[in-house]
Amino acid sequence: MIEGSSDVQGLRVLVAEDEVLVAMLLEEMLDDLGCQVVGPHGTLADALEAGRGDAFDVAVIDMNLAGERADPILAELAARSVPFAIASGGGHWDLPYQPAFMLNKPYTFAQLQQAVQALDRARG
């Protein structure tokens, strides 16, 4: 495990990412942080279904899931007061819900760690 990651040890992170390689890397990095990955979910429908469950604490959501904007899952998370980070490869997003953290792709391990720590703090 990476030193300094114990503060998020056991945190359950819902992952919505449609790019297989990015999802695999994200899953590996979260595992290195000691987090439990819920997913990854590659479509909006799958992410939304998972987002309606109780098996996670925070979420990392790609804004574009197989060509669909992630607004419905963001609405679900916001309604349940679940802190989330948006991972995006660029572009300007007019967001109806304020994320706890923005991750600009490509992001580093350190940036992801910072995001997960911010999400954990936002849980209150």
Mean pLDDT to the nearest integer, 105-118: 96
Query: Which superfamily does 6-122 belong to?
Result: Response regulator (3.40.50.2300)
Could you tell me which of 64, 71, 58, 61 has the C-alpha nearest to residue 117? 58
Mean pLDDT to the nearest integer, 34-57: 96
**Proportion of the chain above pLDDT 70, given as a percent:** 92
Helix, strand, or coil (residue 123): coil
Percent of the chain as helix, strand, coil, to the nearest 5 = 40, 25, 40
Q: How do residues 56-103 score in pLDDT, each as one tens digit?
A: 999 999 999 999 999 999 999 999 999 999 998 766 668 878 899 999
